[in-house]
Amino acid sequence: MIDLRALPELPVSHVLPAIGAALATARRAALSAPPGAGKTTLVPLHLLNEAWRGDGRIILLEPRRLAARAAAGRMAALLNQNVGETVGYRMRLDTRISTRTRIEVVTEGVFARMILDDPELSGVSAVIFDEFHERSLDADFGLALALDVQSALREDLRILVMSATLDVAGVVALLDNPPLIESMGRGFPIDIRHQDRPGGERIEETMTRAIIDAHRTESGSILAFLPGQAEIVRTAERLRERFDATTVIAPLYGNLSQKEQDAAIRPAAPGTRKIVLATSIAETSITIDGVRIVIDSGLQRLPVFEASTGITRLETVRVSRASADQRAGRAGRTEPGIAIRLWHQGQTAAMPAFTPPQILSTDLSGLVLDLAYWGVQDTRALGFMDQPPETTLSEARALLLQLGALDRDGGLTARGREMRDMALPPRLAAMVLSSGETGHAREAAMMAVLLTEQGLGGTSIDLEDRLRRFKSERGERAEAARQLAGRLAKGRDRMVADEPGLAGRLLIHAFPDRIALQRGGRGRFVMANGRGAEIAETERLASSPMLVIADLTGRAAQARILAAAEVTRGDVEAELPGAIRTDDQTFFDRQSRQVRARRATRLGAIVFDETPLPRPSGEAVTRALAEGIREIGLEQLPFSKEATQLRERIGFLYRSIGAPWPDMSDAALMSRMEDWFIPYQTDARGLSDISAGGLSNGLLALVPHELQRDLARLAPTHFEAPTGQRHPIQYDGEEPTLTIRVQELFGLKTHPAIAGGRLSLLLELTSPAHRPIQTTRDLPGFWAGSWRDVRADMRGRYPRHPWPEKPEEAPPTTRAKPRGT
């Protein structure tokens, strides 16, 4: 038991009994408490005294290591203890717990591994998900697993989800309507101000000016939020030129060491002020004593994963309203504060309500591997707030199959089980296992840790250089990382001396699809997966004939290499026997727009040597032509006017009625080339040979035979006017449209329609000179209404044409009035 009276009185204090009671009876609860309410610190301490806890541990999940260390340190201080006694923490490179520990603060990734390794969560009474609004993949997965364990194995397990900006509806639905507890109000008021950034000005310029102004006019330390490390470094350089030693400039971002991060959040020394320049790392669960001014750029850098390319790029985007509120809340933690937002006040409403869940935009190979270990192949079997995209899941399964982690039925292999046990991303786990077979598991493990812990070994693009530096790097973090590598390699290594060029040979096993050949000049490469990548010409690796690329960013068309190592063709042949093959290929040559054949020695899309072969024929040619069209687009096909209208008519019926009428969009037709293109272009060897008639026949063949006779009735090609003239109906818009001179509709008392009279045409009525004069969906209403104004205007412009007062009773015509009438 702890003395709850010794705990500080904070806004969350008045709901602590309600939280304990809710978990006692409902076993699940959600807590919404604003920044500064004290939930991270007081809730776990209060739950120590709950009878249902028994002697079980309380697990508190935090999104970042900095937040985990800070939360554990703050709770231990309130108990007048050291971290590692009643309160401890557990993270990848640093653990401080003991047999006395009853509150474990863990990072979200660590918890997912804890529950996978021990599904019953032995000795755990409660799991608290803090700052759940950040919606990291590990938090979503951890909560899904905890709910599954509670339902099937541990009815007595308590689950609490907490956030300052909770997506109440989503969380409540996921937890099956648990008690929702709200702590209203924050400790101190915050004055929110806005300073719009001038158009075109770099954010570091605006931020520097705002910091200098706030420093001059306000008291207290400053916490400034910037999108990333680069902007922080540039801002810090500008500020150091303006301030003396009485103002400490303290960067705070993920690449810094633990010592540097802890220094940034410590209170300013007496007689000094502090300016902390931070990324989103300081957004939640951190109190920086003395900070009463927050300056928010309103920007953040989020990773976006493209499943089709395997590339994760960082995008600078607007923060959500929830994040903006979290950031502002940092100003009112210990005294009344000021939050300065560097955007126009009206822009706040346009921000997204919450940060997009990571599960929707990240590589899911690790998740799929963990799910297979859990015995689940369908993500819908677990409680995720947002289901992951099927395309990303498919790409993840394909990668794991390639790495040997899954069998063709999606089940976990023995190799996959070993990979899962290594606590590494699947690619890197596969690298360690494969390298262990040649006695290089330790070096591979060091490379894996190097790639997963930012900043180790320096910032060079050349991973051979970084690995060499890492091996001799000093400092607690580097030593802890090397120890982790030793644990990962334990039992898998046969001591082999270091060899030159080892980094590339190791990485081949992690990134076989990113082996790259220089093509197109210095610094330009094509990867085995067919994508291009570039490196600055000034980099040493730019002249390398071959690389294996471990990290890159940017869009597929212009990916930029961030980390790579040199390899040779001999390395690939030695490390991946059989990967380089010689075979005959039939392919579409984009330059000549013809199908050609060659005998090629290649690795995926990389062609080392090739010999032209005689011009090919047969179905393989048509298939290669179809693949070429998928690359260059359907707009390159010679559709006739009749074929284009046929496509539009069928497409209109699909949009109006739906299946079984076929979808005629580009994407749909590209996915069905085998049904409508290949069988009807058997003689084509290039774009110039494609038959326009074959295109029409192919499109019509997509329509079920029993529906083809209805096509002319439901979507006729033409409308026959009262004059006997036939006018084409256009189906390329939202609704079928008829453009016609108004005189040709004289005498018509009903509105023109198709589909047996059920669907009115949109009429674009024109003058005798074919200029638009009116658009209508109600011809009788037009005759009775606005015709009078049109008639008055048109009679003066076209006096030789009839403009009767009662057009519905006049004879239709295509001619002018006879002279003299």
CB-based burial label for 645 (10 Å; 0-12, 13-18, 19+): buried
Q: Which two tokens stand for residue 62?
A: 């935090």
Q: Which two tokens stand for residue 584?
A: 């005959």
Assess whether pLDDT exceeds 60 at residue 497.
Answer: no
Name the amino acid, one letter, at 23.
L
Domains of the chain, CATH where assigned: 4-182 (3.40.50.300), 190-359 (3.40.50.300), 422-579 (no CATH), 601-715 (no CATH), 718-809 (no CATH)
pLDDT digits (tens, 9 = 90+) for 596-613: 999 999 999 899 998 999
| Predicted pLDDT of residue 248 | 93
Contact yes or no for 393/379 (Cβ under 8 A): yes
| Predicted pLDDT of residue 733 | 81
Assess whether pLDDT exceeds 80 at residue 500.
Answer: no
pLDDT bucket at 542, cuts 50 / 70 / 90: very high
| Predicted pLDDT of residue 718 | 92
What is the enclosing helix (H) or strand (E) of 65? helix 65-78
pLDDT bucket at 495, cuts 50 / 70 / 90: low
Q: Is the peptide bond before 660 cis (omega within 30 degrees of 0)?
A: yes
Contact yes or no for 142/371 (Cβ under 8 A): no
| Predicted pLDDT of residue 659 | 86
319: nearest Cα among 305, 301, 304: 301
Assess whether pLDDT exceeds 80 at residue 334.
Answer: no
Assess whether pLDDT exceeds 70 at residue 498.
Answer: no
525: nearest Cα among 574, 567, 482, 587: 567
Contact yes or no for 510/431 (Cβ under 8 A): yes
Distance CA 619, CA 597 (A): 13
Assess whether pLDDT exceeds 80 at residue 404.
Answer: yes
Length of the chain in residues, anyone? Answer: 821
Distance CA 251, CA 36 (A): 22
Q: Which two tokens stand for residue 114?
A: 């804890």
pLDDT digits (tens, 9 = 90+) for 155-198: 999 999 998 776 778 888 899 999 999 987 656 888 999 998 98
| Predicted pLDDT of residue 821 | 53
Percent of the chain with pLDDT over 90: 58
Over residues 25-37, mean pLDDT? 88
pLDDT digits (tens, 9 = 90+) for 287-312: 777 889 999 999 998 887 777 667 77
What is the enclosing helix (H) or strand (E) of 97? none
- Determine how β-strand 57-62 pairs with β-strand 124-129: parallel
Predicted TM-score (pTM) of the model is 0.74
- Quote the distance between the C-alpha of residue 809 and its chain's center: 63
Over residues 329-345, mean pLDDT? 88
| Predicted pLDDT of residue 361 | 87
Over residues 670-690, mean pLDDT? 92
Assess whether pLDDT exceeds 70 at residue 554.
Answer: yes
- Other CB atoms closer than 10 Å to residue 577's CB: what's the count? 8
Distance CA 578, CA 299 (A): 48
224 has which bridge partners?
Answer: 277, 295
Distance CA 728, CA 740 (A): 9
Over residues 557-575, mean pLDDT? 90
CA dihedral 426, 428, 430, 433 (to 10 degrees): -140
Contact yes or no for 600/656 (Cβ under 8 A): no
Assess whether pLDDT exceeds 70 at residue 218.
Answer: yes
pLDDT digits (tens, 9 = 90+) for 761-805: 999 999 988 899 999 999 999 998 889 989 988 888 888 889 998
CB-based burial label for 791 (10 Å; 0-12, 13-18, 19+): middle
Over residues 326-347, mean pLDDT? 88
Distance CA 379, CA 242 (A): 54
Map tokens 């009671």 to a residue: 21
Over residues 245-265, mean pLDDT? 85
Q: List CB contacts of 618: < 8 A, sequence separation 6 or more.
A: none
Over residues 517-522, mean pLDDT? 91
> E strands within 718-789?
718-720, 726-730, 737-741, 753-754, 759-760, 762-766, 772-776
Q: What's the first-to-final CA gap in the chain, in angstroms?
A: 110
Q: List CB contacts of 199: < 8 A, sequence separation 6 or more.
A: none
Assess whether pLDDT exceeds 90 at residue 414.
Answer: yes
Over residues 235-246, mean pLDDT? 92
371: nearest Cα among 133, 161, 142: 142
At 733, phi and psi to the nearest 5? -100, -165
Over residues 697-708, mean pLDDT? 92
| Predicted pLDDT of residue 820 | 52
Helix, strand and coil in the chain, % to nearest 5: 40, 20, 40
Contact yes or no for 355/134 (Cβ under 8 A): yes
Average pLDDT, rounded, for the chain: 89
530: nearest Cα among 454, 630, 447, 453: 630
129 has which bridge partners?
Answer: 61, 161
DSSP 758: T
pLDDT bucket at 102, cuts 50 / 70 / 90: very high
Map tokens 């690389």 to a residue: 547
Taking CA atoms, 450 is separated from 255, 446, 481, 491, in Å, by 12, 6, 8, 20
What is the enclosing helix (H) or strand (E) of 796? helix 787-797
